[in-house]
Amino acid sequence: MSTSIRIVLVETSHPGNIGAVARAMKNMSLDELVLVNPRQFPHPEATARASGAEDVLTQARVTDSLSAALQGCGLILASTSRERGDQYLRVTDAREAARRAVTHDDGSPVAILFGTERTGLTTEELRYAHALLAIPANPVYPSLNLAMAVQIVAYEILCARLENGQRSARTIASSSVPLADPEELDRMYAHLAEVLEEIDFRDRTQSGVHLMRRLRRFLQRAEPDINEVHILRGILTAIQQRRRRAMPHGQ
C-alpha cells in the first residue's frame, strides 16, 4: 500500500494560490489537501485556478489549528527556503525528501507543510516538523510562488513513486513502529519541561524558551516512535518519583 501524503497550507493569503495548488496536486496524483486558517476559502478565484481539479478543493479539509491539521500524521516535513531554515533541524532537498516521504511506511500519513506566501512558516509552526524540505533555487532570487513550490514537491513525489515502483527495493531502514503523533509529542515535551523545572535545570547560555525549543528540535530530528516516547516518559516519571520519595516533606 502506498503512503498517504497530505499537503498542508498554513494561512494562505491568496485564494488563487489554493486553486493552483489543487491543480498542481491533481496533476501529480495527490488529493489530500488541508488548509489551516486560509484567509479566503472557498472563493471563486480558487475554483477558477483549480481548472479541472475542483474535486481536490471540494474534499479539502479546513482547520483552525496546525495541530488539528496534523492529527494522526507520522513523518512531518516543513518546506522552507534554505537561507531561513532552522539551525537545529536537518535540511533535505525536495528530491530526497520526496523519496523519504514515499518510502515512509509506518502506516500513518506523511504531512508536508507550506507557510504563508510572504513569510513562510514561523518558528512556532516548525515545532512539529521532523525535518525541513528546501527546493534548490537561485541564491539571489530564491523565493518561489507558493503553488510553484507545491508543484515541484508534488512532482518529486510522483517521480519518487515511479522510481519506487520500478526499482526493486533499495534497502530502506525504517522501523515498522509508528511515529509518535503530534499530540503525544506535545505531552512528552510538556513533561520534559516540567521535570527540568523540578530539577532546577538552567542552561547557562540560553533562556528557558530557547532551551525547550532547542531540545525539541534535537529530539524531533531523531523522529521518535511511540515506543520511544513511552520509554522517555517512563524515564521522566522515574526522575519525579525518586525525587518525591526522597523528599517526603516536600521542598
The residues in 42-101 that bind its own copies, with binding defined as CB under 8 A, are 51-53, 82, 85-93, 95-96
Q: Is 104 in the site for its own copies (CB under 8 A)?
A: no
- Give the one residue of 118, 165, 167, 173 binding its own copies; rule: CB under 8 A: 173
Q: Contact between 41 and its own copies (CB under 8 A)?
A: no
Other residues' Cβ atoms within 10 Å of the Cβ of residue 83: 10
Residue 53 main-chain phi, psi, to 5 deg: -115, 30
> Which parts of 212-251 interact with its own copies (CB under 8 A)?
214-215, 218-224, 228, 231, 234-235, 238-239, 242-243, 246-247
> 3-class SS at 110?
strand
- The conformation of residue 2, written as its DSSP 8-state character, comes to P
**Lookup: cell for 181:** 503523533
Q: Which of 6, 15, 18, 23 binds its own copies (CB under 8 A)?
A: 23
Interaction between residue 157 and its own copies (CB under 8 A) = no
The answer to whether residues 101 and 77 touch, using CB atoms and an 8 Å cutoff, is: yes
Write out the DSSP string of 112-153: EEE-BTTTB--TTGGGG-SEEEE----TTS----HHHHHHHH
Cell matching residue 153: 514537491
Rounded Cα gap, residues 136 and 152, in angstroms: 10
Per CB under 8 A, 171 contacts its own copies: yes
The piece of 34-42, 107-115, 158-166, 181-189 that touches its own copies (CB under 8 A) is 158-166
How near is the Cβ of 153 to its own copies at its closest, in Å? Answer: 10
Regarding 172 and contact with its own copies (CB under 8 A), the answer is yes
Cβ of residue 87: shortest distance to its own copies, in angstroms? 6
What kind and span of H or E run contains 80? strand 76-80
The CB-of-136 to its own copies minimum distance in angstroms stands at 6
Taking CB under 8 A as the criterion, the residue among 13, 142, 178, 226 binding its own copies is 142
Of 187 and 242, nearer to its own copies (C-beta) is 242
The smaller minimum CB distance to its own copies, of residues 7 and 69, is found at 7
Give the bridge partners for 6, in sequence order: 32, 111
Q: How many residues bind its own copies (CB under 8 A)?
A: 73
CA dist., res. 56 & res. 126, Å (int): 25
